[in-house]
Amino acid sequence: MFKISITGALAAFIIFHDSGPALAQSDSLQARELREVTVHAFESEKDPLTTTATVGMLTPRSLGRFPNYTWANAVNTIPGVRMEERSPGSYRFSVRGSLIRSPFGVRNVKFYWNGIPFTDASGNTPLNSVDFGAIQSMEVIKGPGSSIYGAGTGGVVLMQSRPDNPIQNRVEQSASFGKYGFQSRNSTLQIGDISIQYGHSEQDGYRAQSGMVRDAIRFTSSSNIGEKGTLSLLGMYSDLYYQTPGGINLAQYQADPKLARQPTPTVPGSEAQKAAIYTRLALLGGNYVLQLSDKWTQSTALYLTFTDFANPFISNFEKRDENGIGGRNIWQNKSEFGNVKTNWTSGFEWQYGKSAQRNYDNKGGVADKQQTVEDIRTANLSVFSQLEATLLTDLTVSAGLSYNTSKYKYERYFPLPFNEDQKTFDGIFIPRFAANKVIAGNWSVTASYSGGFSPPTLQEVRPSAGGFRKDLEAEKGFNTEVGIRKAGKVISGEISLYHFGLRNAIVRRLDEAGAEYFINAGKTKQRGVEWTVNWDILSNPQLPVILKLWNTGTYTKYTYEEFQQADVDLSGKLIPGIPRFSQSTGLDVLLRYGISAFLTYQHGDSFYLNDANTVKNTSYNQWMARVSWKKSWGQHFYSELSASAEKVNAGIYSLGYDLNAFGNRYYNSAPKNNLWAGVKIGWEWQKNNR
- Give the pLDDT score at 385: 97
Is the CB of residue 535 less than 8 Å from the CB of residue 487? no
Given a cut of 90, is residue 10 above it in pLDDT? no
Q: Letter for the amino acid at 165?
A: N
Q: Letter for the amino acid at 469?
A: R
SS3 150: coil
Cβ partners under 8 Å of residue 572, min gap 6: 559, 560, 561
- Report pLDDT digits (tens) over 592-610: 999 999 999 999 999 999 9
- Report pLDDT digits (tens) over 84-107: 988 899 888 889 876 666 556 677
- Give the pLDDT score at 31: 37
Give me the mean pLDDT over the 108-131 stretch.
Answer: 92
Q: Please provide the size of the chain in residues.
A: 690
Other Cβ atoms closer than 10 A to 235: 15
- Report pLDDT digits (tens) over 521-544: 788 999 999 999 999 999 998 899
List the chain domain ranges. Answer: 41-686
Q: Determine which of 48-62, 92-106, 288-302, 576-590 has the lowest per-residue pLDDT on average.
A: 92-106
Given a cut of 80, is residue 511 above it in pLDDT? no
In the chain, % of residues over pLDDT 70: 91
Give me the mean pLDDT over the 57-84 stretch.
Answer: 91
Helices (H), 35-116: 60-63, 72-75
| 5 pLDDT tier (thresholds 50, 70, 90) | very low
- Give the largest CA-CA distance in the chain: 81
| 29 pLDDT tier (thresholds 50, 70, 90) | very low
Is the CB of residue 169 less than 8 Å from the CB of residue 684? yes
Phi then psi for 205, rounded to 5 degrees?
90, 155
Phi then psi for 66, rounded to 5 degrees?
-130, 165
SS3 50: coil
Give me the mean pLDDT over the 223-243 stretch.
Answer: 95
Given a cut of 50, is residue 9 above it in pLDDT? no
SS3 489: coil
CATH assignment of 41-686?
2.40.170.20
CA distances from 21 to 25, 438, 440 (A): 8, 20, 14
Give me the mean pLDDT over the 630-643 stretch.
Answer: 95
CA atoms within 13 A on the CB side of 489: 15
